[in-house]
Amino acid sequence: MSRKIFSAKFRTYGEWLKAQPRDTRYAKDLIRKHERFPNMNLKDLRDLRLKDHTLRDHAWQTLTSSQKRDRTLSLKVLRYMRKGDSLTKAVEKVGVNKDFAVKHLGKALHKSNGKWKINATDNIETEMLIYDRNAGQITIITTNSRDRRLIGEYFAAVQKGLKDGDDTSLKRFDGVKIIDAIGEEHSLVTDLDQLYDIAEAQEEPEFLQIYQS
């Protein structure tokens, strides 16, 4: 699966940019938007109103180091809320405040009957560690909460499999593929021998961090 076509006339943003001088107000506006949202196509960029978008919508690669750290913290807030915590309790556990959460989560949060609620899913990008069947231990940029949850469940199964010497917990991940932010497809390692090799190559596997920032 590859990144979607930029427009009917141009396959990529680069082709559109080089086709003619892009010095009009319209073109400069599209270029500015593309810098913040590099995965959008021409139609998406034309329709985009920047004032409607918070840091939640920015592509991972466009964030500064501090913004990446803040996004990682905001995703912790999301995880606590999806486990049943209120926003107040979630930000307290993470060590941030409500304004921080609203700034970084945007439309993933909403108020219902005066209480903050979390959407069931989201499309927030972040960098995560995976064990790729072909490349071994690598980091990829995930694009949605489904894949983040899947990777978390996968690593729980990996730890159980390595501890018990039994690959039963890993069977459900056979054939599972994750598509990253640039459209590359990744298959997860489920072979115990390969997983033991990866674990042995880590200096301190007990401190493995799935989320990268």
> What confidence tens digit (pLDDT) does each residue in 68-113 have?
999 999 999 999 999 999 999 999 999 998 888 888 888 888 888 8
> What confidence tens digit (pLDDT) does each residue in 163-184 have?
999 999 999 999 999 999 999 9
Positive or negative: CA dihedral 18, 19, 24, 25: negative
- Mean local confidence (pLDDT), 203-210: 61
Neighbours of 15 (CB within 10 A): 12
Residue 144 pLDDT more than 80? yes
Q: Are the CB atoms for 134 and 191 separated by under 8 Å? A: no
Domain ranges of the chain: 23-53, 60-118, 126-212
Q: What percentage of the chain has pLDDT greater than the value 90?
A: 62
Strands (E), 46-119: 109-112, 115-118
What confidence score (pLDDT) does residue 140 get?
97
Q: Residue 190 belongs to what H/E stretch?
A: none
For the record, the structure tokens of 54 come out as: 């918070």
- The least confident of 18-22, 114-118, 205-209 is 205-209
The confidence band for 124, taking pLDDT boundaries of 50, 70 and 90, is very high
| β pairing state of 109-112 and 136-142 | unpaired
For the record, the structure tokens of 207 come out as: 């401190």
What confidence score (pLDDT) does residue 32 get?
77
Residue 19 pLDDT more than 60? yes
> What confidence tens digit (pLDDT) does each residue in 128-141 have?
999 999 999 999 99
Give me the CATH code for the 60-118 domain, please: 1.10.10
